[in-house]
Structure 1
């Protein structure tokens, strides 16, 4: 099964077009988007994101998806939201799925030939305002004092402010708990699409070289050993670390990265995930 993967397109249609074109050239069986699908960052002049993001998916991305499916009928398209997406996009993703154009992998399991795809959008707490897909990382993480200047959830009427973000986190399932709910019956044939990268890897480095990935996810990978995990979230990590992939035991982990100027695309045949190509960083063979 041949897969093209990219992440963190944030509504840039040129990057979406490049991904669709690459899937056609590669004769891909699947095109996967790893989160942060929609445009926009909350600001005083941009408070309608809970409404504008679903509109982007249904009005701007939908025609592209239709075009790709018409040109490549066997191509399957999968996506998860990311932390910059509002939860209000979930009905829009469901609508696209009902049209046969895209399959939402968030908290879901899908079959791709002999392989199983599982997905999860949640990331550990960030300094950013949108909190729809943020969770405690480990179940026993202390959250006292965690607060940002603005903590908001996307709702049908707009943004709803979270008065006490720490209290909100305490009543939500942790990333650790959400991961434990993902079925992995055949690890050697399982691909996980998770917006957050695992902690302490080449995939989770900030510009200051601080690791900020998910500890829960790293533990889950080390314990469950899926074939391949695909990540995003930390745009600069491949540039900072000099690598876009590595091995954790039997698992190959990947962060495509993003800079908005050039497509950051991953090409991988699931029959041989140790050999991966990046549209910018080239081909690698992971030993």
Structure 2
């Protein structure tokens, strides 16, 4: 394995070459997923897309954050907020730094006053209302960065994932600089089409886009039926295939805590049997997956290369795959971390 470090716009990207052939590259895509509200990772994704001069930049799902952090302004001019298991108190000069730190790990800071904060403590509906507003404005601001960061010839595709609420689709659909991949066939080049699905099999977390395997299989069959040439297709399915090593996650007990045996966390396959069945049945050109952050890697199911870049959004680290291909040959499969 060859490691190369390259610096762009004060950010370092590590390029690890898994394999490379000398043939001329026709199409180049960058695939990342599971950013979960980390603005730093989104910016790195856009910067890497520009640096690597990709034809299509693909974000495979779970753009949005999971937590709202009220930052309360008090009568004395100071601000307080609870973050990373402790209460912080800062003054006006430190507030921008505090907001940046909160956004950096995928949480949503929300500037408020004592009166509104008390209302939020008493009324969960108010919290959900504020979360919805902040999430929507944040996603729109992310998409607004695309023309600033990415060349106009690079197409950007996102497919909302299981953690993304339906409003995310509305925002993406109404934005002129991005394509919502969900359920659509997108021509990547003259030979390759991509179909995307952000829905996953049931999880302990009961998120927005989960359904039983039978329903998921019906959905995938419907999406796949739109393709003209399945053999050259790219399946951008957020759920990884079952028992593929791209789907191993900690076994959880009834309290949703990891099970530990002999000092190690017990890992089990949690991917989708429906996704695995579709890949085995149709043998597409490429499978792009995510959802399971710990299970980064690449493998083959029959003739199909499947990848999961994994996610370290809380650390602000971009994890992605750069994939180049010509015809039915993958000429480069390249892990990126930065």
Q: TM-score, normalised by structure 1?
A: 0.77
Tell me how far apart the structure 2 counterparts of residues 203 and 51 of structure 1 sit (CA, whole Å). Answer: 34
Matches within 5 A, 1:92-241: 92-96=171-175, 99=176, 101-114=177-190, 115-130=192-207, 132-137=208-213, 139=214, 174-182=215-223, 183-207=226-250, 208-238=266-296
1:254 paired residue number: 307
Query: For the Cα contact (< 8 Å) 2:143–2:178, is it kept in 1?
Result: no
Please state if 1:26 is matched with 2:103: no
CA deviation map 1:18-77 (0-9, x unaligned): 11111112110010000001112489595234433222221x2132112134xx110000
Please state if 1:89 is matched with 2:168: yes
Task: Check 1:93–1:212 CA distance in 2 against 1; reply closer, same or farther (3 A cut).
Answer: same
Query: For the Cα contact (< 8 Å) 1:83–1:123, is it kept in 2?
Result: yes
CA deviation map 1:189-228 (0-9, x unaligned): 2111111101000210013320000001100000111111
Tell me how far apart the structure 1 counterparts of residues 284 and 57 of structure 2 sit (CA, whole Å). Answer: 19
1:148 paired residue number: none
| Relative contact order, higher structure (CA 8 A, sep 6+) | 2
RMSD of the TM alignment (CA)?
2.0
1:13 paired residue number: 39
Tell me how far apart the structure 2 counterparts of residues 20 and 185 of structure 1 sit (CA, whole Å). Answer: 30
Query: For the Cα contact (< 8 Å) 1:50–1:89, is it kept in 2?
Result: no
Tell me how far apart the structure 1 counterparts of residues 132 and 282 of structure 2 sit (CA, whole Å). Answer: 35
Structure with more of its chain in strand, by fraction: 2
1:268 paired residue number: 323
- Corresponding pairs, count: 234
Tell me how far apart the structure 1 counterparts of residues 232 and 183 of structure 2 sit (CA, whole Å). Answer: 18
Q: TM-score, normalised by structure 2?
A: 0.65
Unaligned runs of 5+ in 1: 140-173, 239-243, 282-287
Query: For the Cα contact (< 8 Å) 2:240–2:247, is it kept in 1?
Result: yes
2:146 paired residue number: 65
Query: For the Cα contact (< 8 Å) 1:252–1:274, is it kept in 2?
Result: no
Tell me how far apart the structure 2 counterparts of residues 227 and 216 of structure 1 sit (CA, whole Å). Answer: 18
Tell me how far apart the structure 1 counterparts of residues 199 and 330 of structure 2 sit (CA, whole Å). Answer: 25
Match of 1:123, SS state, is: coil
Match of 1:223, SS state, is: helix
1:35 paired residue number: 61
1:107 shift after superposition: 1.1
Query: For the Cα contact (< 8 Å) 1:227–1:250, is it kept in 2?
Result: yes
Task: Check 1:177–1:129 CA distance in 2 against 1; reply closer, same or farther (3 A cut).
Answer: closer
Unaligned runs of 5+ in 2: 1-26, 70-123, 251-265
Larger gyration radius, structure 1 or structure 2: 2
1:274 shift after superposition: 6.4
